[in-house]
Structure 1
């Protein structure tokens, strides 16, 4: 036990480390969004209240204290989008039912694509890249994407390059939206995805890429985009994006080799 001006024990050190870790996770969650400015403003407001109390300014301290007293409710109102995003991450990435279900236990090794399915996706993306056909393909990992699939049209078909190209063909009724691939099948098309509110995204990336990044932030899904303007293929995971990749790069990523995914 360390004794100086204060008494610091093992649990005190653990408490400080846990609070520091929690604040760091909050920072990562709101980094690059307008919420970071609100967070800094609230933190400065709290420091001002502590200073006023230390100077025994009773009237001002009482007024500020009323705001501090309802601080939790204010935080919920101000950061409702960020709190919802945090709960979505917890629910999708640390789903207890998925981790302990018997079905997941016996099929946990069957998480990747077969070579034929990889070849179909890569070929379709290369063709759409050459013809500058916009595409947005979501690949489910552990998260249950049924809620997102329900926003579109259920397809439930085997993965086929021809089908993917047909879906994203400009005159197709299903081209506007995302295709969701889950359990090695095309689950749905024309799906609506959550759009990221990050301010760090280059202006050259449009709404399709923002939706891809938002989906990868809200779930553990990996997303492929083909730009309608440039034909560039991009791969997105964990909120990070690798732009202008080749068909060979895409094939490696789909096979689970992310060694070239430099952000």
Structure 2
């Protein structure tokens, strides 16, 4: 190893190696997440692409996600051109997030786009990744939480949502690879249509795939909390995907409670989840 590389940060070292490995030029930092560094790079001096470099020690979920993205082979998701160690070499998506379409007042159109992405992602393919996280394990923070961590006035909501989740797990369902975090701002427009990014890479009930979307997008709170939107969106998703509407609403409520448990673990506020839970549970009861 030369002296220059020894003085580099982990990100710089991984970037240098990736640029050489894939003959890339002109790396521009785009974002840093809790688990990765994102760079825009140029290929052959003209085509833009992305390098997603995982931070050391942040690997499991992201590694699973990279494997799942590669398995999608560009159908309904950004294309992964190649993967080496903790670095993904991927298609550059230069469009807007689907959340932006909703914030611009195109909610029904966005729901149809979401359903189309799910259809592409759920298309049967051979040789699914082996180490996907079971959906039941993903829900451990909900089932293992200490109810005393919840505000006193919200404990009945927590108990009901946990009960709904148990009911859903008790009913047999197909077990398929799931993106697992398919909210509006993880779907980006491109010349190839709307494409998903950043999966959690789970294995479980296909209906869970749309659970997070009913609680989203961020920045459209009045719309998201409108019972008419919950009814219309669940109806449209049911129609487009053939999922039972009651099951869609059940997973949406269960996910809102799970999200609250994650937030409580991180000492974050849970006002948004507490606003959604009674609405989703009521819609579930009435479905």
Place the TM-score, normalised by the shorter chain, in its bin.
under 0.3
TM-score by length of 2: 0.24
- Structure number with greater Rg is 1
TM-score, with length taken from structure 1:
0.25
